[in-house]
Structure 1
């Protein structure tokens, strides 16, 4: 069994080399930002993005979506850059491009694809509803985090299907009562999907703050001061929307405990606002024993 697992792990590592490449526009933007350091010019960033009609259209559509709730229509890339910031835009268009590169089939995890995708959409809009008034910059940082958070599961599912391990994986997962995804992933793939995602995000040149926020999602108290608030917020979001039992009474109460823990450390969250903005299912479960 050990030898078989080692073979699978080796195949998984090799599969990283053939993941879909990033679009040329994103590669150019990453290269420009890296070379420019502190001398980044907004007009040059706008020029690079505007050279790609598809990315431009998606970014303008996103900027005008209810998620951001801007009071006026956003019509130019320069306006988007001014409002969201270069780092947030780079993260957003990269995350959106990567997300669209993969077929979503979560059957190895026993998850219905349409239900899964709907939960992901609800997750994005909950972030805006919760944080846009309380901490808009945090909301902007967490949007691409939420887009990417389940990507590791999507990649693992595709990998398991391609290597005829999907049914075996699901059977093992069911034996745990669908309660320990991390343990099953480590057994069959040698790594859990969050750790694997952190590796990929480094590879794709995401901002360190975004990578750290995701990597500390299960241990926000251990995160650096720079990303501690975003790590606590993402951990809360994960408990509310985690597959199988998101917004369960236990997870809702754990989310509240995380915010109380953060506040005790001087990391400010408005508990009244959070409770008021909870998703309906979470509100319903909050009063259950």
Structure 2
């Protein structure tokens, strides 16, 4: 069996994104949807409802009163944030362990996924990008390939590191050279296997600018910058974290300046404790 075939087979070890998450995202992207439709969809899933209310009542939100129903959650948090929480909850299970091949302790990849998703949403708001759920979900799931690749990267780490240190490869390029596929490509294969939209697959595949700096896709640019902010903040930085290239041109493509980026970094740095409280509620 080829290495790529073995990697793709490993996808079956992941827990697929539940159908309810995809249904909630589809409703949220429809301008005709009202909050009652989303509330009705969620409230008939006891597991999602229970976990959602637990999150809403966590230290992250620090509410003066308890949130006791999905309807309350939508009224207090707003539909956008509620949808994001549902997607986060549905994606949590696959990120829980350690990724030893990447030098990531248990929970580190999940912290990065949540942080990247929140930063992507905030960036989308800053640049006036309307489809915030799309970039949020892409940023949350873009590193799912690492869950599968971790063992293979660990077994071939010296060869990958040689290409990075001695021949000027980025870590992603070295991964692809040695394994035949990189983490972003594999994550997009996962998204396809799970039945996620073609658009979402594209954003996940391009989250590290794999075909070189092409900046015409605003959503991909937002996800990319969010990932770079996480690296700058030291969130989820494993053995590969400093072996990626930052394409500064992407800031201009989004209408952002270096000062804007500094503000995003500083602002999120103040939220790290809140993010840890949120993660602790899963």
Same fold (TM over 0.5): yes
Q: 1:256 to 1:278 in 2, by over 3 A?
A: farther
Cα distance in 1 between the residues matched to 2:157 and 2:242 = 23
Matches of 2:158 and 2:213 in 1, distance apart?
Answer: 34
User: Does the C-alpha gap of structure 1 residues 66 and 231 become closer, same or farther in structure 2, counting only changes over 3 Å?
Assistant: farther
TM-fit CA distance, 1:55 = 1.5
Counterpart for residue 123 of structure 1: 116
For residues 112 and 16 of structure 1, do their structure 2 counterparts lie closer, same or farther at Cα, with a shift above 3 Å needed? closer
Unaligned 5+ runs, structure 1 = 1-5, 283-289
CA distance in 1, matches of 2:54, 2:200: 23
Q: 152, 163, 166: which one pairs with 1:176?
A: 163
Query: What secondary structure is seen at the aligned counterpart in 2 of 1:153?
Result: helix
- Per the normalisation by structure 1, the TM-score is 0.64
Residue 104 of structure 1: how far off its partner (Å): 2.5
Look up the match of 1:287: none
Deviation for aligned residue 1:93: 3.2
Larger radius of gyration: 1
Answering whether residue 238 of structure 2 is matched by residue 238 of structure 1, we say no
Alpha-carbon distance change, 277 to 18 in structure 1, aligned in 2, over 3 angstroms: closer
Q: How large is the RMSD of aligned CA atoms in angstroms?
A: 4.6
How far residue 132 of structure 1 moved from its aligned partner, in angstroms, is 4.7
Deviation readout 1:180-199 (Å, 9 max, x if unpaired): 33244334542111111112
Cα distance, 1:258–1:41 mapped onto 2, change above 3 Å: closer
The CA distance in 2 between the partners of 1:209 and 1:66, in whole Å, is 34
Shift of the alpha carbon at 1:172? 1.9
State yes or no: 1:80 paired with 2:74: yes
Gap regions ≥5 residues in structure 2: 232-236, 270-282
Hey, what's the Cα distance between the residues in 2 that align with 1:281 and 1:85?
19
The equivalent position to 1:259 in structure 2, one of 251, 264, 269, is 251
| CA distance in 2 between partners of 1:104 and 1:75 (Å) | 31
Q: 1:152: how far off?
A: 0.6
Q: Distance in 2 between matches of 1:216 and 1:128?
A: 17
Deviations 1:57-85 (A, max 9, x none): 44456667898999x98765356399445
Higher relative contact order (CA 8 A, sep 6+): 2
Q: Which residue of 1 aligns with 2:6?
A: 11
State the TM-score, normalizing by the size of structure 2.
0.65
Give the structure 2 partner of residue 286 of structure 1.
Answer: none
Shift in CA distance, 77/216, structure 1 to aligned 2, threshold 3 Å: same
Give secondary structure in 2 for the equivalent of 1:199: helix
**Paired residues for 1:144-223 under 5 Å:** 144-157=137-150, 160=151, 165=152, 167-177=154-164, 180-217=170-207, 218=209, 222=214
SS in 2 for 1:101: helix
Displacement of 1:146 after TM fit? 2.4
* 1:174 aligned counterpart, secondary structure: helix
Residue 20 of structure 1 aligns to a residue whose secondary structure is: coil
Corresponding residue for residue 143 of structure 1: 136
Q: Per the alignment, in what secondary structure is the counterpart of residue 176 of structure 1?
A: helix
* Matched residues, number: 254
- Name the SS for the 1:191 alignment partner: coil
Q: Which residue of 2 aligns with 1:278?
A: 265
Post-superposition Cα deviations, 1:255-276, rounded to whole Å, max 9, x if no partner, equal 543212x0xxxx5446543332
